[in-house]
Amino acid sequence: MTLILFMNKCHLLAKKIKNGVCVKKPLMSFRRLRQCSPPVGTLYIIPTSVTDTQASGISLQTVRGVILREHLRHSNLV
């Protein structure tokens, strides 16, 4: 299974971390959820910014490539 994670507003998270906001507790609760989840074959993490249209276009091209590779892999062409 392939998972594509779009992380929007990463600049705000970076700013909060820089200002001293602790993210350890939310990350620990995510770790517990992850233990109950099925294994992921490939994980693509794509930082996005809706206001940056050029970067959003690059993100969409990346996703298109991921989907195409998965289809080719499942059809035994790659």
Tens-digit pLDDT profile for residues 8-34: 888 888 888 899 887 766 666 666 666
Give me the pLDDT at residue 27, please.
60
Q: What share of the chain is helix, strand, coil (3-state, %, to 5)?
A: 55, 20, 25
**What is the domain count for the chain?**
1
Tens-digit pLDDT profile for residues 59-75: 888 888 888 888 888 88
Unique residue bearing structure tokens 């959003």: 56
Task: Say yes or no to pLDDT of 78 above 70.
Answer: no
The DSSP H or E segment spanning 44 is strand 42-48
Domain limits for position 22 = 2-74
Give me the pLDDT at residue 25, please.
67
Using CA atoms, how far apart are residues 47 and 14, in angstroms rounded to an integer? Answer: 12
| Range 41-58 average pLDDT | 78
Kindly report the pTM of this predicted structure: 0.55
Give me the pLDDT at residue 33, please.
66
